[in-house]
């Protein structure tokens, strides 16, 4: 089953200029690509469409591939529109009978949405030129009359969001190793975007935009908010403030200044969701626990308290040392000072070591760590907040209390 849309909450300020708005995530996918150098970003719609290495589908072809956009073909929906499951021949890319050929996910734009058109074009601009095993593959698009659609590879395991937050009996919780592997895959995708080959700021890193193939390989999706990074001597890109509550970096929300470190903050939020099994913003929780970052921060650097943040479904699957390493990595990403956040290459290295550490312990059959007790989250949040300025083997350093986040639901 593919992933669903997630409705994005936008924060827009008339004081900031630039940018495009955004809505949701998409259906599934499943192939790997190879990284490539991105040519200069085209400026006009015609140049973008002509320069992309994508198939131009007719509306009739996609109508046939999705069985006339039947309701039972819907994978999900959101502000952008609906995502449908379809089938095409993997060689000719023509419509195929259900159950034959290659499965695809078709995202159909709401026809009255001008903002959606800008994001539709942005996705083609970036995914028509960017290829990497940890980026979702865009197969083609449709631009016919008022119809605008995007065609992606299908990701059978859906989104990370569904695996972390669904509590249905038929949903198996992700193991510790799988969670760290997914975080590593996402970091690798982000590292490619931030590299000199791409020079792209993702601006929409969240659990619903991380899609999983049949082997739980993770890929970043939904590039409608992506921006070219700063050029020359510029340190940032000035843009209208947009994003999803709970994920966007506080300095970006306050100033509209977008940098690579904005993505690193968002990665820290996702990593915290992976470790805790909690949503970045959850209105069903008591008021003090609704914002995950604010609630978890006091516990993350403490050997005695870190388990209050960890997902109870992971009990017994990790060592205290690894829990602290992962927690401290999240804290560093969430630093209120962007310069203290690690580079994405450092994230990749730290997660590789963390995954390797747990693999080695399992291969040795180590029984040195007893199964973890389940801890209840405290409703009384300590006032002292801790952080780290280095990725360390479990030692947390003190950090000043962060400024209040402007992100509120």
Q: Which domains does the chain have, with CATH numbers?
A: 50-153 (3.30.200.20), 158-230+237-362 (1.10.510.10)
pLDDT tens-digit profile of 286-322?
Answer: 999 999 999 999 999 899 999 999 999 999 999 999 9
Helices then strands (H, E): number in the chain?
A: 10, 15
CA nearest neighbour of 108 among 135, 157, 141:
141
Which residue, chain included where needed, has tokens 């949701």? 24
Going by C-alpha positions, the residue among 152, 171, 154, 149 that lies closest to residue 162 is 171
- Give the pLDDT score at 46: 79
Please tell me the predicted confidence (pLDDT) of residue 96.
Answer: 96
Residue 375, judged by CB atoms within 10 A of its CB (0-12, 13-18, 19+), counts as: middle
How far apart CA 137 and CA 123 sit, in angstroms, is 11
Bridge partner residues of 212 (DSSP) = 158, 218
> How far from chain centre, in Å, is Cα 348?
15
SS3 259: coil
| Mean pLDDT (whole number) for 329-334 | 98
| Cα–Cα distance measured from residue 194 to residue 344, given in angstroms and rounded to the nearest whole number | 8
Q: Examine the residue annotation and report whether 204 is marked as an active-site residue of this protein.
A: yes
User: Is 88 within 8 Å of 79 (Cβ atoms)?
Assistant: no
Express each pLDDT in 195-222 by its tens digit: 999 999 999 999 999 999 999 999 999 9
Q: Which residues pair with 135 in a beta bridge?
A: 220
pLDDT tens-digit map of 109-164: 987 765 688 889 999 999 999 999 999 999 999 999 989 999 999 999 999 999 99
User: Do 1 and 72 meet the contact criterion of CB atoms below 8 Å apart?
Assistant: no
Q: What is the pLDDT of residues 341-383, one digit of tens each?
A: 999 999 999 999 999 987 776 666 544 444 444 334 333 343 3
* Average pLDDT over the chain, rounded to an integer: 81
> What local confidence, expressed as pLDDT, does residue 15 receive?
28
Surface-to-core class of residue 41, CB atoms within 10 Å of its CB (0-12 exposed, 13-18 middle, 19+ buried): middle
Q: Which two tokens stand for residue 8?
A: 């994005």
Q: Are 407 and 396 in contact (CB under 8 A)?
A: no
Tell me phi and psi for residue 245, to 5 degrees.
-55, 135
Determine if residue 219 is labeled as part of a ligand binding site: no
- Encoded tokens for 5: 């849309």
DSSP class of 198:
T
Q: Where are the beta strands (DSSP E) in 225-317?
A: 227-228, 237-238, 257-258
Name, in order, each residue with C-beta under 8 angstroms of 383's C-beta and a sequence gap of 6 or more: 298, 401
Q: Which two tokens stand for residue 25?
A: 């995530």
d(CA 124, CA 51): 10
Residue 341 · residue 333 · CB < 8 Å: yes
pLDDT at 23 over 50: no
**Whether pLDDT at 395 is above 50:** no
- Pinpoint the alpha helices (H) of 88-159: 114-127
Q: Are 132 and 139 in contact (CB under 8 A)?
A: no
- β-sheet bridge partners, residue 200: 228
**List 20, 204, 213, 311, catalytic entry:** 204
Whether the full predicted model's pTM is greater than 0.75, yes or no, is: yes
- CA dist 158 and 372 (Å) reads 29
In this predicted model, what pLDDT tens digit does every residue of 253-292 receive, in sequence order? 999 999 999 999 999 999 999 999 999 999 999 999 999 9
């Amino acid at each position: 089953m593919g992933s669903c849309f997630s409705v994005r909450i936008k924060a827009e300020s008339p004081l900031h200029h630039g940018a495009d708005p955004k809505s949701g995530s998409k259906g599934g996918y499943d192939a790997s690509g190879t990284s490539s150098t991105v040519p200069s970003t085209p400026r006009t719609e015609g140049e973008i469409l002509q320069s992309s290495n994508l198939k131009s589908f007719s509306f009739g072809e996609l109508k046939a591939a999705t069985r006339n956009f039947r309701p039972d073909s819907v994978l999900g929906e959101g502000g952008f529109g609906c995502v449908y499951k379809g089938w095409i021949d993997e060689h000719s890319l023509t419509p195929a009978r259900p159950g034959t050929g290659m499965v695809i996910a078709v995202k159909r734009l709401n026809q009255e949405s001008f903002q959606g058109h800008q994001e539709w074009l942005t996705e083609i601009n970036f995914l028509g030129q960017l290829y990497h095993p940890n980026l979702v593959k865009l197969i083609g698009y449709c631009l016919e009359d008022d119809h605008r659609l995007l065609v992606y590879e299908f990701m059978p395991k859906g989104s990370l969001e569904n695996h972390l937050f669904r509590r249905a009996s038929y949903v198996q919780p992700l193991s510790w190793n799988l969670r760290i592997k997914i975080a590593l895959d996402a970091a690798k995708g982000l590292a490619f975007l931030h590299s000199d080959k791409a020079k792209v700021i993702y601006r929409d890193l969240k659990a619903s935009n991380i899609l999983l193939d049949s082997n739980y390989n993770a890929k970043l999706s939904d590039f409608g908010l992506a921006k070219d990074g700063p050029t020359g001597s510029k340190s940032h890109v000035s843009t209208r403030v947009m994003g999803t509550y709970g994920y966007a970096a506080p300095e970006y929300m306050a100033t509209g200044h977008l940098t690579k470190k904005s993505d690193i903050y968002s990665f820290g939020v996702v990593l915290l969701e992976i470790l805790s099994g909690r949503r970045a913003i959850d209105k069903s929780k008591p008021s003090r626990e609704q914002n995950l970052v604010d609630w978890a921060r006091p516990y993350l650097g403490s050997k005695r308290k870190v388990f209050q943040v960890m997902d109870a479904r992971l009990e017994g699957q990790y060592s205290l040392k690894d829990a602290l390493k992962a927690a401290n990595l999240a804290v560093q990403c969430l630093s209120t000072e962007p310069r203290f956040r690690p580079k994405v290459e450092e994230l990749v290295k730290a997660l590789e070591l963390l995954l390797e550490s747990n693999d080695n312990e399992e291969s040795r059959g180590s029984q040195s760590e007893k199964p973890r007790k389940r801890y209840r989250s405290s409703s009384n949040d300590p006032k002292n907040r801790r952080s780290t300025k280095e990725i360390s083997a479990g030692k947390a350093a003190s950090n000043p209390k962060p400024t209040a986040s402007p992100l509120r639901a």
